[in-house]
Amino acid sequence: MKICVFGTRGFPDIQGGVEKHGERLYPRFPADCEFVVYRRRPYVRATPDLPRIRFVDLPSTRLKGFEAAFHSFLAAVACLFERPDLVHVHNIGPACFAPLLRLFGLPVVLTYHSPNYEHAKWGPLARALLRLSEKIALRAANAVVFVNEFQMRKYPEAVRRKSTYVPNGVDPVPPGAGTGELARFGLEPGRFLLAVGRLTPEKGFDVLIDAFRQAAPAGCPLVVAGGSDHEDACARALRERAGAAPVVFAGPLVGEPLRQLFAHARLFVLPSRNEGFPLVLLEAMAAGRDVLVRDLPATRLVQLPPEDYFAADADLAPALRRKLAAPPPARTYDLAAFDWDRIAAQTRAVYARVLGR
């Protein structure tokens, strides 16, 4: 079967959870599947030679609130000429074009990553449009894959009947990670805190910086690994908020630099205000890191012990002090449910049901 894919900026080595999801997922499909992945040209860094995956780079912009809609429209039109067996769309915004695809006889599978209208970066008009897009997408899609089981349960029976919970996954971390990348940030193994994500309001880095300054762990800087697609007020405000505190803004990292940060962090912190399913948390767990995460439905999917959660902004500083006062624990986690090969098989089964194969 031939599947067209859009709704992500693309892969490989492009910042974002959905982008990482695609990078890990599609190369694992069996030989009977081939993919056409539509990428946003301004973000493309490399075009690897991957079996059964063809990349098509379409024009796009970096205009906040416009780039996804513009690129998704172009991709949807391209799908009409490509005539795949099925179109796999990621996110509710791009999936507003599902009715167009259905009109021309193309089945659509939607992966629902998160309710984007809950993100603080969007204004009232954008949120209203995203809610409308969600209604259109959920009605028009032949099948819906939810990465968050709790999110799936919110919808009426008509949506749940065609929905499947398939979580995000994580790759095993090879032993013996190096430390060469730490030196360029002035870091020592086991002596820094780590947070990873885009510099956007919903990620809660403002809360983390405030809590870090209150907890004031001596000789243990905070590393924020992530960038902003648009250098906006949020990114500038975070740097101003950090002031003279030992906060390292490492920028968007992929590959070996990010692996080394996960492998050697004293503690991984996830302060997000909302999440669909945080891949970065799985990566920290796969690396055996101690973790401290906000209590959200998405973070409950991994079933951590109570001491790994904090409930409100004001709870983060005391929780940091408590974690850092104890010796670093040796952590192992059961991640069998988050195996990418298993997830590829589950997604392949969704395709087969839609196509009646």
Task: CATH number of the domain at 61, please.
Answer: 3.40.50.2000
Residues 160 and 210 in one domain: no
> Is residue 175 in a domain?
no
Residues 78 and 213 in one domain: no
Residue 229 confidence (pLDDT): 63
What gap in Å lies between CA 19 and CA 11, rounded to an integer?
6
H, E, C per residue of 255-304: HHHHHHHHHHCCEEEECCCCCCCCHHHHHHHHCCCCEEEECCHHHHCCCC
Q: Which two tokens stand for residue 13?
A: 């080595």
332 and 344 part of one domain: no
- Please indicate, yes or no, whether residues 258 and 290 belong to a single structural domain of this protein: yes
Q: How would you classify the pairing of strands 2-6 and 34-40?
A: parallel
Reading the block at residue 111, the tokens are 């992966």
Our measurement of the distance from residue 288's CA atom to the centroid of its chain's CA atoms, rounded to an integer in Å, reads 20
Residues 129 and 269 in one domain: no
Q: Could you list the residue range(s) of the whole structural domain that residue 47 is in?
A: 2-169+339-355
Same domain, 126 and 188: no
Q: pLDDT below 50 — which residues of the chain?
A: none
CB contact set of 280 (below 8 Å; sequence gap of 6+): 17, 196, 197, 268, 270
**Claim to verify: residue 10 and residue 122 sit in the same structural domain:** yes
Our count of domains for the chain comes to 2
Same domain, 228 and 297: yes
Whether 43 and 104 share a structural domain: yes
The pLDDT of residue 127 is: 87
